[in-house]
Amino acid sequence: MERSGGGDPRETLRLLWRSPRARSGRGRPPKVSLEKIVAAAVALADREGPDAMTMDRVAASLGVGTMTLYSHVPGKAELVDLMVDAARQELDLTPSGPWRARIEHYAKQTVALHERHPWLRTVSTVRPPLGPGLLARDNFLLAALSTAGLPAAEMSAASDSLVTFVDGAAANLAEHGRAERLSGQSDEAWWAERQVFWESFFDPARYPAIAQTWHDGGFDRDAAEAAANAFDLGLRALLDGIAAMAERNR
Amino acid sequence: MERSGGGDPRETLRLLWRSPRARSGRGRPPKVSLEKIVAAAVALADREGPDAMTMDRVAASLGVGTMTLYSHVPGKAELVDLMVDAARQELDLTPSGPWRARIEHYAKQTVALHERHPWLRTVSTVRPPLGPGLLARDNFLLAALSTAGLPAAEMSAASDSLVTFVDGAAANLAEHGRAERLSGQSDEAWWAERQVFWESFFDPARYPAIAQTWHDGGFDRDAAEAAANAFDLGLRALLDGIAAMAERNR
DNA sequence: CCCTTTTTCCGTACGCCCTACGGATATTCT
DNA sequence: AGAATATCCGTAGGGCGTACGGAAAAAGGG
């Protein structure tokens, strides 16, 4: 699932903000709407993974011909942009309160979002679709950080670093949780298949720190639990660090 | 570029660790080696992006027929696994010294790695290929953290969270640096194309924190600089937070 | 009421993708 | 010389995204 690129940016923006073109009243009435197409694409990607989200199958799930989609969307890349922004708009970003609690709320929401839409991880986040979802998120994070007491330049950097960590860790966490549901294979089964690795390839003498950590029980949790711990510890550390910077700045 | 999955894990592991199959001496001599195939695939993806890395084009760049590759590699997914691990093996992970300096070294190395191989970001990192590159990285990080004074369970979580942040931020940074070289479009040109956004779609009243940060000069740097700042600030905050945890644990 | 205009619908076709299959080819062993 | 073995690779099949252009369905104008 690659994101936009070639197409006319103005057209993509018009779609992201649902600003309808001037309609003359004439012409054949549409069988589907942009909203329905995006929803069908999201549902398909949720259910069967990003590779199943093909123009053919989206159209089929709506009961229209494949090429009909192209009357509503310039191409697949733009549809992916719309899916991403639609997903981001699902975030509940209402709460106010202490800035730290707000960021933690964003983190929880993001985990839930990736759990619903694990295909989000497969989409690049640079030069993102400038839609309402992205703006709402950035606005929420900047509003929270602005009460922490950082200068504007550092606020923007702190917000970006939080997005990088939270979205990355949430994607990891969600992918572990859902990998077995989609692939039909649990983490345990995955490791069991790779038991040969420990038997035939892993050399404790070459990787002493891994062997030691293993020996000390550092890997005793399953992969999903480990990802959750990494998320919690990392977020706590990051917020502690940012709070300390704000304190110093005061 | 999707990663492995269907194939026999034992076969993939054998390839990752370059453990040659028992050779009888008989048979037609190979025109290409596994090493050359992986190198050609990496070079192609470096030069023209992940989408250009097709079996057809890799084979053509080696002067062999497409299907010849399948004598050396089970399929494209496994080739991607091999590319990822080969790239990871490029990291220089020799230094010893204070744990914090070691992690910062890993961060710098990772930025350089993503600058050389920006396609790394498009590859999923869950259930990764268990090759020498991955193990060397984990061993390095765990060795560094083990001198910080964290319990084994937290060490593993701290290592995971560092990987999430550093690899994510490095991918962002590198993609900004290289986006223009590959797409032929600078960040400025990208924003210029989207000037309509600010003119026609952005509503300052709806996103006051963004408008305020803009007003305060929070977005005055270009995208590449901003990504670099986010990387530095985030890593510093994360390491500060981890150091504080270790301190408390002492 | 027909005819033009406008808009959407969608069947066909093209080029590219991955890869299953099986025959051709080149080497070694007996 | 012939059998055994491993690699090379042309062909073909099923999917993919989408350019093209005609069919279809509405509204407006005569």
pLDDT digits (tens, 9 = 90+) for B26-53: 989 999 999 999 999 999 999 999 999 9
| Spatial distance from the CA of B155 to the C1' of D19 (Å) | 55
CB B165 to CB A161 under 8 A? yes
CB B233 to CB A154 under 8 A? yes
* pLDDT at residue B3, rounded to an integer: 79
Contacts of A176 in chain B (CB under 8 A): 126
| Spatial distance from the CA of B58 to the C1' of C24 (Å) | 23
Residue B73 tokens, joined = 């590699």
- Tell me which chain B residue has its CA closest to the CA of residue A208: B139
DSSP chain A: -----SS-HHHHHHHHTT-PPP--S-SPPPSS-HHHHHHHHHHHHHHH-GGG--HHHHHHHHTS-GGGGGGT-S-HHHHHHHHHHHHHTTS-----SSHHHHHHHHHHHHHHHHHH-GGGGGS--SS---SHHHHHHHHHHHHHHHTTT--HHHHHHHHHHHHHHHHHHHHHHHHHHHHHHHHS--HHHHHHHTHHIIIII--TTT-HHHHHHHHTTTT-S-HHHHHHHHHHHHHHHHHHHHHHHHHHH-
Cβ(A133)–Cβ(A88) below 8 Å: yes
What sign results for the dihedral spanned by CA atoms A188, A192, A193, A196?
positive
Cβ(B82)–Cβ(B15) below 8 Å: yes
Give the CA-trace dihedral at B19, B24, B27, B32, to 10 degrees.
20
* Minimal Cβ distance to B237: which of A136, A190, A245: A245
pLDDT band at B5 (very low <50, low <70, confident <90, very high): low
| Spatial distance from the CA of B66 to the C1' of D11 (Å) | 12
Which of A133, A91, A95, A132 minimizes the C-alpha distance to A114? A91
Contacts of B160 in chain A (CB under 8 A): 172, 226-227, 229-230, 234
* Unique residue bearing structure tokens 């929880």: A108
DSSP B36-61: HHHHHHHHHHHHH-GGG--HHHHHHH
* pLDDT at residue B25, rounded to an integer: 81
Looking at A85-94, B1-10, B203-212, which range is the least confident one? B1-10
When computed from its CA atoms, the radius of gyration of chain A, rounded to whole angstroms, is: 22
Distance of alpha carbon B1 from alpha carbon B12, whole angstroms: 17
Give how far B87 is from chain A: nearest CA, Å. 19
pLDDT exceeds 70 at position B189 = yes
Using a 7 Å CB cut-off, which residues contact strand C? A 23-24, 26-32, 64-68, 70-72; B 24-29, 52-57, 66-67, 70, 75-77
Distance of alpha carbon B199 from alpha carbon B172, whole angstroms: 27
pLDDT digits (tens, 9 = 90+) for B97-116: 999 999 999 999 999 999 99
Which of A225, A105, A90 minimizes the C-alpha distance to A162? A105
Contacts of B154 in chain A (CB under 8 A): 229, 233
- Tell me which chain B residue has its CA closest to the CA of residue A213: B152
Residue nearest to nucleotide C26 (CA to C1'): B28
CB neighbours (10 Å) of residue A23? Answer: 7
Contacts of B149 in chain A (CB under 8 A): none
| Nucleotide minimizing C1' to CA distance for residue A26 | D27
CB A146 to CB B213 under 8 A? yes
Give the CA-trace dihedral at A49, A53, A57, A62, to 10 degrees.
100
CB A238 to CB B242 under 8 A? no
Give how far A223 is from chain B: nearest CA, Å. 9
Give the CA-trace dihedral at B97, B103, B117, A128, to 10 degrees.
-160
CB A241 to CB B245 under 8 A? no
| Spatial distance from the CA of A134 to the C1' of C2 (Å) | 52
Residue A33 tokens, joined = 């709407």
Per-residue pLDDT of chain A (250 residues; tens, 9 = 90+): 877 666 789 999 999 999 988 778 898 999 999 999 999 999 999 999 999 999 999 999 999 999 999 999 999 999 999 999 999 999 999 988 999 999 999 999 999 999 999 999 989 888 899 999 999 999 999 999 999 999 999 999 999 999 999 999 999 998 887 656 655 677 788 888 899 999 999 999 999 999 999 999 999 888 888 899 999 999 999 999 999 999 888 7
Contacts of B19 in chain A (CB under 8 A): 200-201
Distance of alpha carbon B208 from alpha carbon A248, whole angstroms: 26
CB B139 to CB A167 under 8 A? no
Distance of alpha carbon B193 from alpha carbon A9, whole angstroms: 7
Distance of alpha carbon B181 from alpha carbon A147, whole angstroms: 39
Distance of alpha carbon A179 from alpha carbon A1, whole angstroms: 18
Distance of alpha carbon B165 from alpha carbon B174, whole angstroms: 14
Residue ranges of domains in chain A: 2-87, 92-249
Distance of alpha carbon B175 from alpha carbon A115, whole angstroms: 26
pLDDT exceeds 80 at position B11 = yes
| Spatial distance from the CA of A72 to the C1' of D29 (Å) | 29
Distance of alpha carbon A137 from alpha carbon A103, whole angstroms: 11
pLDDT exceeds 90 at position B140 = yes
Residues 6+ apart with CB under 8 A from B192: none
| Spatial distance from the CA of A56 to the C1' of D16 (Å) | 9
Give how far B25 is from chain A: nearest CA, Å. 24
Is residue B82 packed enough to be buried (19+ CB in 10 Å), middle (13-18) or exposed (0-12)? Answer: buried
Interface size, chain A vs chain B, as Cβ–Cβ contacts under 8 Å: 252
CB B13 to CB A200 under 8 A? yes
Which of B179, B3, B161, B61 minimizes the C-alpha distance to A230? B161
Distance of alpha carbon A91 from alpha carbon B69, whole angstroms: 45
Q: For chain B, give the percent of residues with pLDDT over 70.
A: 96
Element (H, E) at B106: helix B99-116
Residues constituting chain B: 250
Q: What are phi and psi of B236, to 5 degrees?
A: -60, -50
Tell me if the domain spanning A2-87 has CATH number 3.30.559.10: no
CB B157 to CB A229 under 8 A? yes
* Unique residue bearing structure tokens 């960021």: A103
Tell me if the domain spanning B92-249 has CATH number 1.10.10.60: no
Distance of alpha carbon A205 from alpha carbon A95, whole angstroms: 51
Q: Which tops the pLDDT comparison, A35 or B6? A: A35
A147-161: b or e for each residue (b if 16 or more CB lie within 10 Å)? ebbbebbbbbbbbbb
Contacts of A210 in chain B (CB under 8 A): 135, 138-139, 142
DSSP state of B148: T
Distance of alpha carbon A187 from alpha carbon A232, whole angstroms: 21
pLDDT exceeds 80 at position B183 = no
- Triad A235, A240, A242: Cα angle to 5°: 95
* pLDDT at residue B69, rounded to an integer: 98
- Triad A134, A138, A142: Cα angle to 5°: 175
CB A244 to CB B240 under 8 A? yes
Strand D bases contacted by the protein (CB, 7 Å) = 4-11, 15-21, 23-28
Q: Give me the mean pLDDT over the B178-205 stretch.
A: 82
* pLDDT at residue A14, rounded to an integer: 96
